[in-house]
Amino acid sequence: MMPYKYLLVFVVGFLSLSACGACSAWAEDKDFELYKESLEPHADVNKALSKALEEKKRLILVIGANWCHDSRSMARKLSTAEMKPLLDEHYIIHYTSVGYYDQALDVSPRFGLPVILGTPTVMIIDPSSHEVVNKSTLHKWRNAYAIDLEETVHYFTEHATASSSVSERPPINKAALARLKLFEEQMAKRVLKGFRHVGPQLKAYKQGKAPESFNEEWNELAKFRSTLAKDLKRLKTQLLQDPEKELILPTYEGFSWNE
């Protein structure tokens, strides 16, 4: 019997203005502005989870934004004829909008991700356990525009039947895991503060009224998020492969604006 299909959760956030196409390529993928703002994003996700559970499928949750080129590109890829048979059989898709980083930022923590680090962030979820089966690669989709359709089909084919069984995981150094979890939560707070700072500027930018400091501060936050994503992946890989090796947690410079 086919295991529960997962609801793929796409969590979408900025990596950089150029990466999300905030400055160009707006017309392309314009028909795939599927990220609808909601007053009740958690209730919407619950409905999608229930539907996935009922149909014994996996949930694809896409958290993104219509202004983001990569978010629209992700939606376009999921709407192709090449993806349709796979999605119809194994997945339910739900798109969640982060607005201008002022909405639905508390959705990803429900599934063990303290904060999104790029748009789109894609989470593939087992609706029965709420386990995310693509934890190690969910951040890759923030560069969705650069990922070709063949790779996209392969990725979701592979995760359609990927196991999420806790019993199959290797032993973990619990003390090191707790340190890493605390570190990730602390860094998530920095990212959220950054979103609160640049979000209003981003909205003004889209209206042609951004302050002169916007590009510099936006790129500063984008660089931090990108570096953090790489560091977290490296540390989590080390914890799995060599659990007794000491974790050396990185430090980062403060932002140029007041935190």
Per-residue confidence (pLDDT) for residue 5, from 0 to 100: 46
Per-residue confidence (pLDDT) for residue 16, from 0 to 100: 42
Tell me whether the omega of the peptide bond preceding residue 120 falls within 30 degrees of 0, making it cis: yes
Residues of the chain with pLDDT under 50: 1-26, 166-168
d(CA 67, CA 2): 37
For all residues of the chain together, what is the average pLDDT? Answer: 87
d(CA 110, CA 175): 23
Element of type H or E holding 217: helix 214-241
Q: At what angle do helices 214-241 and 174-206 cross, to 10 degrees?
A: 160
Per-residue confidence (pLDDT) for residue 167, from 0 to 100: 43
Per-residue confidence (pLDDT) for residue 164, from 0 to 100: 59
d(CA 2, CA 154): 18
CB 230 within 8 A of CB 196: no
pTM: 0.85
CB 180 within 8 A of CB 235: yes
Per-residue confidence (pLDDT) for residue 11, from 0 to 100: 44
